[in-house]
Structure 1
Amino acid sequence: MNRILELLEQQSTGYLSGELLSQELQISRTAVWKHIKKLEAAGYQIEASRRLGYRLIGRPSKLTPQELTMKLQSKGTSIIQKIRMFDSVDSTQNIAQRLAEEGAEEGTLVIAEQQTSGRGRLGRKWVSPSGRGIYMSFILRPGMPLHFAPQLTLLTAVALCRALRAIAAPLDIGIKWPNDLLIGGKKISGILLESTAEEERLRYVIAGIGISVNLTADDFPQELLDIATSLQIELGRPLDRADIIAGFFEQFEQLYTIYQKDGFGPIRMLWEALSVTLNKPTRLILSSGETMATPVGLNEQGALLVRKSDGTIVPIFSSEQVPQG
């Protein structure tokens, strides 16, 4: 079915005969017709002509495993092994955690069209209207010491930022510590990594990503309009969510491979290059209180290095960052 969809998309301006599809796929005309019916059931609009064949005239507004699998394959990525797709869930993180506990393999991806209780860092709610954004969580089983988990968070932020910059050019998208993505100071994406360890080694990591793709101003609560936005609002047109997901996993797989081979150094340099808050005075909200400092980079563990008013540089492992001026 994926190959038929790919051929129909390549022939976007005309028809493909059932005979040609049959020969290309080495299946019967009846089997072709059955695959076409499956595509229609998945939401694709296909015009059939007894004389001319089949023509793709409309795509589903919903994400489908078939479309996403095809686009992942077109990118040459293999990190995603299984896709679980839902119309509505409380949180994709919750579903992925349950699957991980049940033994789901690395590369299991959970995607929902809508979340009723989507969450971000510090338990904050993530706005998740149906069909407008990307709400997904995937399972990693890196088998590394627990203290490396923050580095995976930063790696994920770099992969997503690079993917969105490529797809949504010329938008200037950057990273705010540790893993929020911003356009013009407004948030478009959040990343939440949650891990479970055993004897100080990671059993699994759940990487959750929320992206405000095609939300309009009406989708955001009034109190968020000054601090949140979407790719569609900023770009002036909607984007294909499957393209974004495939682009992200292409970048993630490349960086994950580099990280496993060469360590955190290359990821650290990429993160620093994409940061929009380095070398700017910042109010840091810590568990111990608030302080003013200037972020200057990351250390080898992935902590944020900040310069205090007395000139000393110290690492910060967890904080909220409020740029000043």
Structure 2
Amino acid sequence: MFSKLTSLFTENLNLSEMNDNPEAQREGYNRILNLTDEELIGTLCLEPATTEPQVSRIYQSYQSDRFVAALLDPRTSSEYKFNEICQIVEPQNVEYKRFAVKLKVKSHPTKALSEEDINNIKAYLDKGESGEYINILMKQDLNISDFLNYVNEVGSLKSDEEIDDDICKINSERIPRILIFVSKPEFFSCFLKLLNFYLNSLEESSSYCSRYVLIGKVIQRQDSDYMSIKGTIPHRNCVYIFRPLNLDYYKCVNDELLKSFSNSFETVDLKNPKYGDHRFYSIYDMECANDKINIKTNNNLNEKDPLPEYSIIE
């Protein structure tokens, strides 16, 4: 008995040391990215990513965080912001399902990997509270199998940053059918493979899914009398603000709601603003690839007609 306890204590101590070892974490990160499909399925599984209390959430899809800083600046009123900085896309208060999972090492991982590899992967995934996760927000009439069927049919998705300008301009004035946020874009394919593999068990469990309401999609205005937009691309700057369905307050975008996210403003270095990445993927039409516009054929419009003109926001 004493021998078993000593062994368990030593094992936990070694894992704790590895969790504080940047080299082990780096090796674990690289090992995940180089797993074969068989090794991936044999090593990793998915677990619910939602462990914290349900709160309002803001998802920032932006080209420059100068826009985010201006929107969430607690020193200015919402009236000023909506006159000079941003506009809300209609409709508002739309119900979504939030599907959230994160990567986890299986209790009995494949023996194809060495013990060192497994421990390095654990060290990497355990280095932060959130781990590596993906959030998939879907209109309420959709489910995770609809999303996977769509991705499998179109073959791949382009991130919001990769979408052509013409398409992006049109999409900026619409709300998506599906919005995907992944903690690191390089793990997106890993999540897709695991979601496909575990689909049946995921659909049968309610612990991965929660109900949210899109309070509003807020986009940057094309111009302003008082604020310079030089260096920003307005149609590539937006935020999505969600609240849990059962939350009785924050039912519109106002001063109180925006100030609740003021911590995002405080993290922006205005002298050296950061730019967006490939962590967001949006699907607006389930009938075509997410980098296309689905123009339905009718008496007045056919597939050869040009894209509809992008409206100037005033």
Report which structure shows greater RCO (CA 8 Å, sep ≥6).
Answer: 2
Structure 1 length-normalised TM: 0.22
Structure 1 or 2: more strand by fraction: 1
Structure 2 length-normalised TM: 0.23
